[in-house]
Structure 1
Amino acid sequence: MKNSVFALLYVLVILGCNSQPKENNIQTNNLESLVAKFEDQLKNELENGRSVSGAIIVDNKIIWSKAFGISDVDRGIQADTTTIYRTGSISKSFTAFLMMELVHEGVIALSDPIELYLPEIKNLDGYSDSTRITFRNLAAHTSGLIREPNLKDAATGPISGWEAKVLESILNTSFQYGLEERFSYSNIGYGILGLALSRAADKPFMELVKEKIFEPLQMDNSYFVVPEDKIFSLSKGLEIGPHGKINREKPEREHMGRGYKVPNGGIYSTPNDLAKFILCNMGFSVKLLSKDNMARMQTIQTPKGNWRSYGLGFGIQQDSLLTAIGHSGGVAGYRANLVFDKDRGNGVVLMKNYSAGDPNINKLSYDLLRELAILDK
C-alpha cells in the first residue's frame, strides 16, 4: 500500500522539544488515541473488496492521511492516498466558491437575476417577474425549484453535452415553493447556476473551476474528466442495491457523463485535495477569496425555522460546542463527506467507492470533528 501518511504535528513537537509542558503531553496523547480509534473503526468496518480513504486537519494542518482496502477488485489494486473517487454533491461547494470568486472580481453580484446572463431561465414553468431567481437563491437552495427536472434521461449523456441538457431541463422544471420561502435542495438549480456563471465569465465552466480553484490550490488529482494517465488511480465504484446486490455497470457508465449534472456532481478528487480546499475555506494556504466573501458562504442563508441550515454551497450545523460547515456527496458507486470547524482550524474528509454500508462516513466525520473540539476545550 502506497500510503502517504502525515505524522501528527504534536508528536513531532514532542520529539523535538523535551521541555514541553506536561499538560501538552497529555493533550498529544489524547489526540493520538483519538486518531488511532478513528483509524481502527475505518479498518474494522470496511468490508472486503471495497476501499475508504481520508484526511484529518488539526490546527490548520493535514496531520493524517490514509487509505484502506481495495480500490479495484478486478485488477487487485490496493487503495492509497492518490486513489481518486467521485465527490458527488461536494461539487456544489466548488460551484458556489467559483461564484464568489466572480463576485470578488466584479463580474456578477449575488443579487443579479440569473436571466441577465441566462435568459433561457424565463422558460421555467411558472416563471414571472415575481420569481426572478438570483445567484444567491440558486447557491442557497432558496429558489423554490424542484429537485430534479421532469425530463427523461436528464442525468444521462456525455459530459460534453451537459450545457444542452441544462437548457433542455429548464423547459421541464417548475417551482415547488415560493422564492425564498424555504430551503429546497435543487440539483437542477445548481446546474443552472453553473451555466449562468459560465455565461457571465464567457468561459467554459469546467475550465473556470480548473483555472480558479484546482490549479491555484495545487489540487493535482482533481478533475471533471479523469485523464488517461490517471485512470489507473480511479477507484471502481460499487453501487449497492437491495439485499446487497452489487451493480458495477452503472458507476462505470456514469464516468462517461451524467447529463446536466456537472456543476452539482461532476468532480473527481482525493481526500488530500479536498483537504486543501478546506484549508482555503478556513482562510489558510492560498487566499482566493476575501474574508468577507468566505464569511458569506459560511453564514446561514436559509429562512429561520427551516429543517436545514445552508449557506452558499455549504451545509451548516450549529450547536453549543461548534459550528460544523461542509457538504456530503453520493452518486452511483461512491460516497464522500467533507466537514470543518473553522473556529478551531479542524477538518475531516472521507471518501469511499461504494454506495451503502459501513463505515458511515458522514457520521464518522462529524463525530470526529466534535471530539476534536472537545479536546480543544
Structure 2
Amino acid sequence: MIRILIVAVTALAVLLPAPASAQETGKTGSLEEALAVVEIWLDAQKDYERLPGLSASIVHDQKLIWSGAVGVAEIEGARPAETNTLYSICSISKLFTSVAIMQLRDQGKLSLSDPISEHLGFFDLKQKYEDSTPITVESLLTHSGGLPREADFPYWSGPEFEFPTKEQVIEHLSEQETLYSSQTRYQYSNLGLSLLGYIVEEASDQPYDEYIREHILNPLGMNDTYPEMPSHHVGGQLAVGYGNVTRNGERNPARFFEPEGIAPAAGFASTVEDLAKFAQWQFRLRGNREELLHGYTLAEMQRVHFATPGSTTMRGLGFSLSSRNGDTFVGHGGSCPGFRSQFSMQNEDKIGVAVAVNATVNAGKYLNGIYDLVKDPLLAEVKKAEEGKAEEEGRPEGGAEAAETKAEPEKPPVDFTKYLGTYTGGLGGDETVVVPWAGGIGTMGLPSDNPSVRPLEHVEGDTFRRPGREERPGSEVIFDTDADGRVIRMRTPLNYRNKVHPEGG
C-alpha cells in the first residue's frame, strides 16, 4: 500500500474527455498520472522482488512533490513502512561529513591542500610509495588518497557486523599501508571518510555527532536524521534490515549494527522526507548566497575534482557525479547490512529523488525509475504554470472579454475507466497494467527495471492503436467485453491477456 503525504492522487472521473488527436493522446501524461504510475510500479516491484519495504520522495526545488512507501518496516508483526520510517543510509553519511569539512575550510580552520597528518597527529599508516604526493584533505574527499578501502577490521562480515571504535581504527593504522600513490587512482575508501570525521572533531573541538547536529541537521530541520544508528528506535520508527533472497525465497533479518568509528562514512540513519529537506537546501543555495555553506562552496563540491581515465567514475568533494540520458546527477548511494539507499539531484531542473529500502537490492534502479517516470510530466507542468503566469501578467484590463474566442464544440466523452486494471497471460506470465495517461490510457509492463508508459490512441469503440513510427501505423489493441459490456481481456490482435479484475478494481 502506498501512503501519500504531499500530493494526493485523486480518484479518476468515470468519464474522461476524448482526446482531440493522436498527438493529444500524448507522449507525456500529467504529473498526477505519473505519480499514480510510480505507485503502481513500486507496489508491483515490491511483490515481484520480495522487498520488505521501500520509502521514496521527490522534490522539485523547494516543493516536496510526493512521498510514499510500500511494504513493511518489519516483516514479523507487519509494521508498515512509512515516509517517516528510519533507514540506515550508510554511505550517504559521507555527504554530511563532507559538508562539515567544507564549513571548517571556509572558516579557515583547515585547507583542502593540508596533509591529513597536520590535523591527525596519530596518522601513521605506512606510505608505500616514496614519490607519492601528500595524502591531503582533498584527496580523501575524492577517494584518491591511495588509502585502503576499509579500516583493519572485518566489519562487513556477518552475521555479527562488528564495527571498530575510533580508538581501534587509530590503533591499527600502523598495520596498514597505502595501495597507490596519492591522487593517481580512484579507490573508494570508508577509512578515508572516517578519518575526515576525525578531522571534523579536531578542527571544531567538538564531538563529531554534536557538530553535525548543531551545524547541519538542526538548522535544516532534519529532526529524523541521526549521525549514528538510533538504538532507541529499534522496534519502532527504525526499519529492520533484510539480506538477499535466499534459495527458499525468503529474506533473513540482518542483525542491528552500530558503525562506531566508521560512523562518519557509514553511520547515519534518516528518512526520505529528511533527505528531501537536504535536497531542498542545496537547490536554494545557488550563487552568492550563504546558508550553512556559501553557494560557491557547494558548487565547488558538486563539480568534478577527480575522474578515472577511461571510466565513468567521477568524484566531486564528497559527492558522486554521473550522467544518464543527457542529464547530470550529483548525490550518493548507501549500502549497509540489510539496507540500501540512493540520493540523487539533477541540478539543472532542480529535481531530487531519495529512495530507501530495508533489503539488499539495487536501490538505484528504483530511483532511476521514479525519476524517468516523473521528469517530463513535472517539467511540462512547471512550464505550463510559468506560461499561464506570464499570460496573466501580460493580459490588459478587460482582457478576458477581449480575448474571448469561439469555443470548439466538445467531443463526446469516452468511458476509459472500464479498461483500467491488470491483464495477465503473456508469454512469460508477466503483467500488463492499463493506466490513465495524457487524457486517455496507456500500458506498462510489470515487473520492469525500466518502467515506462506506452500511450494508446483511441480509434473507435473498444479499439485502440499504439503510436506508429514514421509512415508505419502502430499495432491495434482491442478490448473484448462480455455480454454485460464489462472488459474481460485485451488482444493485439490475435494474442490476448485476461483482465484480472473485470470490474476494473
TM-score (norm 2): 0.64
Higher share in helix: 1
Partner of residue 150, structure 2: 148
Please say which of residues 136-145 and 297-306 is displaced more in the overlay.
297-306
Aligned pair 1:239/2:240, yes or no?
no
Matches within 5 A, 1:172-321: 172-223=175-226, 224-226=228-230, 228=232, 231-240=235-244, 242-243=246-247, 244=249, 246-248=251-253, 250-252=254-256, 254=257, 257-284=258-285, 287-303=291-307, 305=309, 307=311, 308-318=313-323, 321=326
Letter in 1 for 2:259: R
Equivalent position SS for 1:263: helix
Match of 2:98 in 1: 96
Which string of whole-angstrom CA distances, capped at 9 and with x for unpartnered residues, describes residues 342-376 of structure 1? 111101001011113xxx43023134435555453
For structure 2, the residue ranges without an aligned partner over 5 or more in a row are 11-25, 381-505
CA deviations over 1:260-309 (Å, ceiling 9, x no partner):
32111100000000111111222359922111110111011114525200
Distance 1:81 1:153, change over 3 A: closer
Contact 1:322 1:373 in 2 (8 A): no
Q: Which of the numbers 51, 54, 73 marks the counterpart of 1:52?
A: 54
Give the structure, 1 or 2, with the largest relative contact order (CA under 8 Å, sep 6 or more). 1
Q: Return closer, same or farther for 1:239/1:319 CA change in 2, 3 Å cut-off.
A: closer
1:64 matched to which residue of 2?
A: 66
Match of 1:331 in 2: 336
Task: Give the secondary-structure state (helix, strand or coil) at the position aligned to 1:119.
Answer: coil
Deviation at 1:101, TM superposition (A): 1.2
Instruction: State the SS of the aligned residue for 1:115.
Output: helix
Structure whose CA Rg is larger: 2
Query: Matched residue of 1:206: which SS?
Result: helix
- Deviations 1:135-193 (CA, angstroms, capped at 9, x unpaired): 1110110101121234455987888x631132034223322222111221111111111
Taking every aligned residue pair, what percent have the same amino acid on both sides? 28
Q: 1:32 aligned to 2:36?
A: no
Pick from 342, 346, 353 the counterpart of residue 351 of structure 2: 346
For residues 80 and 125 of structure 2, the distance between their equivalents in structure 1, rounded to whole angstroms, comes to 49
Listed one character per residue, the Cα deviations across residues 57-85 of structure 1 (whole Å, up to 9, x for unaligned) are 12431110111111112222111112110
Q: Which has the higher strand share?
A: 2
Q: What corresponds to 1:78 in structure 2? A: 80
**Range with greater deviation from structure 2 (319-328 or 145-154):** 145-154
Q: Bigger shift: 221-230 or 148-157?
A: 148-157
> Normalising to structure 1: TM-score of the pair?
0.84
CA distance in 2, matches of 1:251, 1:227: 12
Deviates most, 329-338 or 234-243: 234-243
User: Given the superposition, is the C-alpha separation of residues 145 and 204 from structure 1 closer, same or farther in structure 2, using an over 3 Å criterion?
Assistant: same
> Contact 1:122–1:128 (CA<8 Å) still a contact in 2?
no
* SS of residue matched to 2:197: helix
Task: Give the Cα separation in 2 of the matches to 1:371 and 1:44.
Answer: 15
Deviations 1:6-36 (A, max 9, x none): 0279x9xxxxxxxxxxxxxx99953222222
Aligned to 1:264, the other structure's residue is in SS state helix
Distance 1:140 1:133 in 2: 11
Unpaired stretches in structure 1, ≥5 consecutive residues: 12-25
Letter in 2 for 1:67: A
Equivalents in 2 of 1:86, 1:323: separation in Å? 26
Cα pair distance change 1:239/1:320, threshold 3 Å: closer
The correspondence for 2:128, drawn from 126, 134, 146, is 126
Question: Could you tell me whether the CA contact under 8 Å between 1:154 and 1:259 is conserved in 2?
Answer: no
Opposite residue 335 of structure 2, the aligned amino acid is G
SS of alignment partner, residue 188 of structure 2: coil
Measured in 2, the distance between the counterparts of 1:259 and 1:297 equals 26
Deviation at 1:125, TM superposition (A): 4.7
Q: How many residue pairs end up in the alignment?
A: 355
Which whole-Å CA distance do the structure 2 matches of 1:130 and 1:288 have between them? 35
Note the alpha carbon deviations across 1:92-112, whole angstroms, 9 max, x for none. 111111111111222211111
RMSD: 3.0
